[in-house]
Structure 1
Amino acid sequence: MTKLSVNINKIATLRNSRGGDVPNVVQFAKDVQEFGAEGVTIHPRPDERHIRYQDARDLKPVVYTEYNIEGNPVKSFIDLVLEVRPTQVTLVPDAEDAITSNAGWDTIKHKDFLIDVISEFQRNNIRTSIFVDPVLEQIEGAKETGTDRIELYTEAFAHQYGLGNESAIKPYADCAELANKLGLGVNAGHDLSLDNIKFFSDNIPGLLEVSIGHALVAESLYLGVENVIQMYLRKLKK
């Protein structure tokens, strides 16, 4: 079954809006795992506008499932990941002022850089994944970097599926099939929700993990966190 990793950035955003420690991100991470989530994802940015670097350290002792840290591999991020040593690091080429991630890596243009960064993490026994657009050439380029996995950037699928265009799944399925043939693990994330997750997961071969944050937290406002996690798990079950 595809693993569900809950991105808790939005919980940190809510906490930071009042300057205190409510809601507590460490407790939330404990809770989502207790409710059935099979991983916790965070995406600290240099300005620490939601998840803070200290949060990454504080979460390490309590995440007993998959611990995934996403981010742009600037020096401070690399140092943090090497200190915390999560289960997985997902490399995302987001600009410092980006509201959210909005593109995958050009794995051909940035091949040498990615090789250097990925090899450093792997030497420290940290599984690596790189955020990519659903383009076959970029999957081939990802293989050349030595990464363990790719994470398919799913915003385009989610948008088109919401408009009724189910054919938007094809480039993702094709890329997943190629990744499987190349020996790359396949993750996915961005704008996946209760509305589209079953169709997506049913059509992506070898999908190992999805990372969901914004939609899951928003849906939980109406339906409750524990209930929503169980709903995702049922939809991901094959």
Structure 2
Amino acid sequence: MALISRDFRRTYVHFKWPFADFHADSSHAINPPSFSLLRINEPPPLGGDTNWISGYGTFETLSPPFQKFLEGLSAWHSSEHVYESVTNHWHAKLPTRPSETLHPVVRTHPVTGYKSLNLNSGFVTRIDGLNRYESDKLLELLFTHIHTATDHTVRWRWEKNSCALWDNRCATHRATHDYAPLHRSGVRVTIVGEVPVFKEGSRSRKDVERELRNSRNVSAVYNENLRRGV
């Protein structure tokens, strides 16, 4: 459980704070949270919306050759920015050092079986196996792709005590920090998830939907032919 409050990180605009950008909650963990539930107790009268971006959608809008390339890559997710923010700017002492975990760039959702782009600019620091230049340029391209995916974005305007539940395994999110000096606070609960994996043979949501449409069309033609006695 975590307290969400602007007062707690009043100086976030002055340094790298992962939660100010698109992120999946605690993606640096070995088994990151599956679901997150957030209740905003005190929303600002204006601003403070939350945006979610679909990992299904951001993966599907890449070209097939590029999708295939990404499926063979893994990325390092690190809590170093959180650690640095807390220790350097709030002068707090943490019992552990920053954690870093390697996860596939494309993961297979354990329930739907769909492919999802498993990257976020809040915690991902580099692509494994690439040199620094290659990694930085690839991440720059992908983060820009994610940040401009407005056709795969949902924006939620909070009311007092409203709740939102989302799946970190196929979505990233960020709060809109446009309400200073107003107040915004809430409580977030996360559910422990699975270790992210990519399964060969898994399909994208778009591919499955296309197959379903085709099967419906075939069935419709077949039924119409039966009706007409063809």
Tell me the TM-score normalised to structure 1 length. Answer: 0.24
Tell me the TM-score normalised to structure 2 length. Answer: 0.25
Structure with bigger strand share is: 2
Structure with bigger helix share is: 1
Structure number with bigger Rg: 2
